[in-house]
Amino acid sequence: MGDGSRIKITSRSSSLLETNVTINLSRYLVLTEVLSERAGGGNIITRVYLGGELIDTRTSRHQRESGRKCHEQMQEQHECAVGLLKKAKMAGGGQKEAENYLKEAMAFLKNKQYRMALDVLSEGSGRYPEDALLLSYYGCLKARLGDGIKDGISGCLKAIKHTERLPFGAEFFFPVLYLNLGRAYLAAREKKEAVGAFEKGLAADPENRELRQEMKKLGDRKNPVLPLLGRSNPVNRYAGKLRHALQKRSKDNR
């Protein structure tokens, strides 16, 4: 094909769809599957991989209906994800090298080589300043490593703004972009702003596992009993344990 893309769609079963998408020599894998629940209904999950690394996910609910209706919903979600991926990546033209930067950075992150990942993202975002994913991951990592928290947050915000230039399909990238923004806010100890970012991400994908985990961690992390002493102070730690024990006893007596 003249645009440098190739798509192959296969279905190994009625509960799994698999699509290989090659764009400018970068190979993506889109997988959609149905995870049913005993009580009825369940989730339809679409995951996008680049070079074996998960870069995005989208989840929707399906009700306990006929298998045919569920499969139609699954097929629609899968084809939509493939279409949005292809159009978003082809919109910028020469995106081959930008994708390779992201692929290399994700590999470093997987191996916890954060400084190496930061160097790759810094170079990539400098060369492709309009690439939302590169800019978002760079800003988030920069903030979390303490190399410029304000600049990192600013980069994450710019990444979200860049998606406004896409012809359509920007919402497909919102979960990961708002996840990165929220984590950057947490590095700045701005919990309220972090919660707001995570909530916006969940609005685009209510079942996103990483966003839900971040919200759970924030919900479980209560304010210290004595704020003036700091969270790590031994007195606060003891008071926190005492508060937890009293709250648990109160629940047990209900």
Rounded Cα–Cα distance for residues 48 and 55 (Å)? 6
| Confidence category of residue 198, pLDDT binned at 50, 70, 90 | very high
Tokens at 128, concatenated: 């492709």
pLDDT value, residue 252 = 59
Cβ neighbours of residue 28 under 8 Å, at least 6 residues apart?
A: 20, 21, 22, 48, 49, 50, 85
Q: For 225-237, what is the mean pLDDT?
A: 62
pTM of structure: 0.57
pLDDT value, residue 13 = 42
Q: pLDDT tens, 154-190?
A: 999 999 998 876 655 667 888 999 999 999 999 999 9
- CA of 69: how far to CAs of 80, 103, 209, in Å? 17, 36, 25
DSSP 226: S
Q: For 125-141, what is the mean pLDDT?
A: 92
Give the Cβ contact number of residue 3 at 10 Å. Answer: 9
pLDDT value, residue 6 = 41
Q: Per mean pLDDT, which of 8-22, 90-104, 179-193, 239-253 is the most reliable? A: 179-193
